[in-house]
Amino acid sequence: MTVRLVLATHNAHKVEELRRILGDRLDGIELIGYDGPEPVEDGLTFAENALIKARAAAKHTGLAAIADDSGISVDSLDGAPGIHSARYAGNRDDRENLELLLANLEGITDREAQFTCAAALVDGDFEHVELGVWPGSVLTGPTGVGGFGYDPVFQPHGLTVSAAELTADEKNAISHRALAFGQIMPVVRAQLLR
């Protein structure tokens, strides 16, 4: 028997990345897309926004839903862009967001940053959230052609390349999203496959 789980996102990059990350952890679970209304993400944290999205998808579909909220937080910018990462420059435009981040860091030597991902599961009254944090720093300019979002300017600690220079498999083994979903999948499996 296969259980259906709604992935509450309209972001095609995220869907593809999560299918790769989750792989065989989806055995017995059919991950289905979500084309319902997008809720207003007015939470103050990544966890709150992930729960808002998962609750909306679960309510709209009547199925268990999983969602995430993620972004990059730069220490010297008091955590910005943070929960506003996707619309940092006003629109959902990766290039404009990246350019604004680099402009705001011009002349700043402390470029420590971290990607954070909150993964949330909502199944009826059951709610659970896990966090994944990927520490690194912001480069002075973009490098690499892989990934999306801020990947071309994010250099994970311990590496000499940007996240955009990693293969999909390399990134999906160590990223904030991989960490958060790796932590939440045992909970998902226990909740849905009982």
DSSP assignment string, 55-92: HHHHHHHSSEEEEEEEEEEEGGGTT-BGGGGGGTTSSS
Q: What is the pTM of this model?
A: 0.93
Taking the chain (194 residues) in runs of 10, the rounded mean pLDDT of each run is: 91 79 88 91 98 98 97 98 95 91 97 98 98 98 91 98 95 94 96 92
Secondary structure of residue 157 in the 3-state scheme: coil
pLDDT of residue 74: 99
On whether 149 is known to bind a ligand per the annotation, the reply is yes
On whether 70 is known to bind a ligand per the annotation, the reply is yes
On whether 88 is known to bind a ligand per the annotation, the reply is no
Q: How far is CA 173 from the centre of its chain?
A: 14
On whether 69 is known to bind a ligand per the annotation, the reply is yes
Cα gap 123→137, rounded to integer Å: 36
pLDDT of residue 147: 82
pLDDT of residue 3: 94
pLDDT of residue 125: 97
- Catalytic residue, candidates 27, 69, 93, 169: 69
Cα gap 25→115, rounded to integer Å: 23
pLDDT of residue 136: 99
In the block, tokens 């839903």 appear at: 65
pLDDT of residue 111: 98
pLDDT of residue 143: 96
pLDDT of residue 92: 79
Is 169 an active-site residue?
Answer: no
For residue 63, the tally of other CB atoms under 10 A from its CB is: 17
Domains of the chain: 3-192 (3.90.950.10)
